Amino acid sequence: MPKVSVKVKWGKEMFPDVEVNTDEEPVVFKAQIFALTGVQPERQKVVCKGVTLRDDLWANFKLSNNAMVLVMGSKDEDLPAAPVEKTKFVEDMNESELASALDIPEGLINLGNTCYMNATIQCLRTCPELKNALVQYKHEPSSGAAGNLVTALSDTFKALEGGGAGACAAAAARLLPALHAAAPRLAERGAGGQLAQQDASECWTEIIRALRMRLSKEYHGKQSNLIDQFFGGSLDVELVCSEAEEPPTKSSESFLQLSCFISQDVKYLQSGLRSKMTEQITKMSETLGRDAVYTKTSKISRLPSYLTIQFVRFYYKEKESINAKILKDVKFPLELDVYDLCSPELQERLMPMRTNFKKYEDACVKSSLSTRDNNQGDNKNVKDKDISYTSVGHSFPNDLGCNNSGYYRLRAVLTHRGRSSSSGHYVAWVKRDDNWLRYDDDTVTPVTEEEVLKLSGGGDWHCAYLLLYGPKNLKIPQTDQFKDIIQEVIANTPE
């Protein structure tokens, strides 16, 4: 009998008819208790008939209908009644007051070394196309582990859209076992039985893999996958033998993220990406009949709307048997231009939209208007909030989900603090409208652009591990000074 109805007693409060599914991990029940009492799972002691509930196993914790479950533990101290005081301005507020004033969204509770999962989810939510697809996702019976994971992701995204702390906690507790079922490697436990810390990049990859399997849609009369459309790019690859005269070998490769390898010479993201585009590899040469050195040159032939970049910060250290971390400072920009990494053919196709951006920027200079944040459509120097905007799509015709300019804006940063991938702490730093937020599990606080740019590494503070860039959209105010520019841009944009 996996489902039972029990009574939960916490202090003087009684909660009757609490439905428990013992097919799910105990952390799900603890998340339910959190929703009822406000006591964080890690602060709960749950007892029934003298037996204490563990986080990982029901073991001999037997539940039956109408059983009495005792919960011990205190929630965070209640805030004292606010004193009567004069109005505070934003500039004078501390982090907590600012969070309340800015309507800060919910985070996800840590169920025991699950910060890697929480940070991954918060970063992926910055893609509106993915968020909408998951909110609308309909679970199909017998869809396997990948389908169950996508269903759990859908429930989590819905809860984060306004379901409240309790709903978010319950959704996270259901998401964790679904992630473990789809990726058993992430379910490893430490010597004491607690969940082990996992690599956020591995979690990101597993979630993207499941989404790629389940999220399909028809675009322009053909079936396509949302992940491939919006996160997938392609490379033109050429291999040239350095030891013999052989005709170059050309091929095409797909990618869902780019890697920034960190060497002594790499100080900036762009140089780290560029160094990976030309590399030396060893492979069998048919001409020489042995392994030979080849120069592998890669150029991007399709840019996705959302560009994922991983800083390759971890390497295996045999002596300590850990994935040690490279702490080196590598700067990354809020706006990224990858034109130089593209093939000549793609560069030619990017030029019309790049010309449109240049025309608009020149017009802004002439009219003394800043183009900053024009992708939100609320230019700081445009006072009239009723102004309409002409939007120019960021994709090529018949290739929904690509980037047609090579320009990107930073949407999210997933950081790690610690010395190895199997320890430390992961946090998501996400841009929401015009503001940046730090999602440290269920603690969400506003941060500045300057704080985000300090995540480049160089010490024991949080340093960037994964970056998510979104398209830089062109939105032009429909005002008299931009009338001619709008006509030029429309004429210069392929239909």
Tokens standing for 66? Answer: 């109408």
* Helix (H), strand (E), coil (C) string for 248-268: CEEEEEEECCEEEECCCCCCE
Quick one: 349 and 491 in the same domain? yes
Q: Residue 318, CB half-sphere, CA atoms under 13 Å: how many? A: 0
> Can you give the pLDDT at residue 252?
96
Quick one: 266 and 175 in the same domain? no
How far, in Å, CA of 383 to CA of 479, rounded? 12
Are 137 and 154 contacting, i.e. CB atoms less than 8 angstroms apart?
yes
> Can you give the pLDDT at residue 459?
81
> Can you give the pLDDT at residue 316?
74
How far, in Å, CA of 123 to CA of 134, rounded? 14
Quick one: 50 and 109 in the same domain? no
What sign results for the dihedral spanned by CA atoms 363, 365, 368, 374?
positive
Interacting residues of 157 by C-beta distance below 8 A, sequence separation 6+: 121, 125, 131, 134, 135
- The residue out of 203, 232, 261 marking a domain boundary is 232
Q: Which residues pair with 4 in a beta bridge?
A: 20
Tokens standing for 277? Answer: 């585009």
Among 396, 415, 200, which residue's Cα sits nearest to residue 304? 396
User: Once rounded to an integer, what is the mean pLDDT over residues 334-348?
Assistant: 97
The CATH number of the domain where 374 resides is what? 3.90.70.10
Quick one: 198 and 112 in the same domain? yes
SS3 407: strand
User: Once rounded to an integer, what is the mean pLDDT over residues 161-183?
Assistant: 92
Are 304 and 254 contacting, i.e. CB atoms less than 8 angstroms apart?
no
Considering the domain boundaries, does residue 84 fall inside one? no
Quick one: 368 and 428 in the same domain? yes
Considering the domain boundaries, does residue 79 fall inside one? no
Least confident of 182-191, 287-296, 320-329: 320-329
Quick one: 150 and 179 in the same domain? yes
Quick one: 260 and 353 in the same domain? yes
SS3 271: helix
> Can you give the pLDDT at residue 35?
84
Give the structural domain span for 59. Answer: 1-74
Quick one: 129 and 60 in the same domain? no
Quick one: 288 and 173 in the same domain? no
More confident residue, 409 or 383: 409
How far, in Å, CA of 388 to CA of 339, rounded? 30
SS3 362: helix
* Helix (H), strand (E), coil (C) string for 57-91: CCCCCCCCCCCEEEEECCCCCCCCCCCCCCCCCHH
Per-residue pLDDT tens digits for 301-319 = 999 999 999 999 987 777 7
* Arithmetic mean of pLDDT over the chain: 87
Quick one: 188 and 281 in the same domain? no
> Can you give the pLDDT at residue 43?
86
Note the pTM of the prediction, 2 decimals.
0.81
Tokens standing for 240? Answer: 């040239």
Per-residue pLDDT tens digits for 343-359 = 999 999 999 999 999 99
Are 164 and 183 contacting, i.e. CB atoms less than 8 angstroms apart?
no
Considering the domain boundaries, does residue 402 fall inside one? yes
Considering the domain boundaries, does residue 239 fall inside one? no
Tokens standing for 306? Answer: 């959302």
Catalytic residue numbers, as ranges: 115, 425
Considering the domain boundaries, does residue 315 fall inside one? yes
User: Once rounded to an integer, what is the mean pLDDT over residues 230-236?
Assistant: 97
What beta strand segments (E) does 343-396 contain?
389-392
What beta strand segments (E) does 108-211 contain?
none
CA angle 266, 227, 428 (to 5 degrees): 55
Amino acid at 31: A
- The residue out of 52, 74, 96 marking a domain boundary is 74
Query: Other CB atoms closer than 10 Å to residue 297's CB: what's the count?
Result: 16
Least confident of 170-179, 275-284, 291-300, 477-486: 477-486
Q: Looking at the predicted structure, is the pLDDT value of residue 392 above 80? A: yes
* DSSP track, 275-314: HHHEEEEEEEETTTTEEEEEEEEEEEEE-BSSEEEEEE-E
Pairing of strands 307-312, 314-317: unpaired
Considering the domain boundaries, does residue 148 fall inside one? yes
Q: Which residues pair with 474 in a beta bridge?
A: 392
Interacting residues of 450 by C-beta distance below 8 A, sequence separation 6+: none
Q: Looking at the predicted structure, is the pLDDT value of residue 257 above 60? A: yes
Considering the domain boundaries, does residue 420 fall inside one? yes
Give 79's pLDDT tier (boundaries 50, 70, 90).
Answer: very low
> Can you give the pLDDT at residue 461?
87
Give 323's pLDDT tier (boundaries 50, 70, 90).
Answer: confident
SS3 244: coil
Quick one: 112 and 61 in the same domain? no
More confident residue, 178 or 138: 178
> Can you give the pLDDT at residue 384?
53
Are 365 and 482 contacting, i.e. CB atoms less than 8 angstroms apart?
no
Are 97 and 88 contacting, i.e. CB atoms less than 8 angstroms apart?
yes
Considering the domain boundaries, does residue 207 fall inside one? yes
How far, in Å, CA of 360 to CA of 380, rounded? 16
Most confident range (mean pLDDT) of 218-222, 250-254, 487-491 is 250-254
Based on the structure, what is the number of domains in the chain?
A: 3
Quick one: 183 and 251 in the same domain? no
- The residue out of 210, 232, 254 marking a domain boundary is 232
The CATH number of the domain where 13 resides is what? 3.10.20.90
Query: Other CB atoms closer than 10 Å to residue 183's CB: what's the count?
Result: 20
Per-residue pLDDT tens digits for 447-457 = 999 999 999 99
SS3 470: strand
Q: Looking at the predicted structure, is the pLDDT value of residue 378 above 50? A: no
> Can you give the pLDDT at residue 376?
45
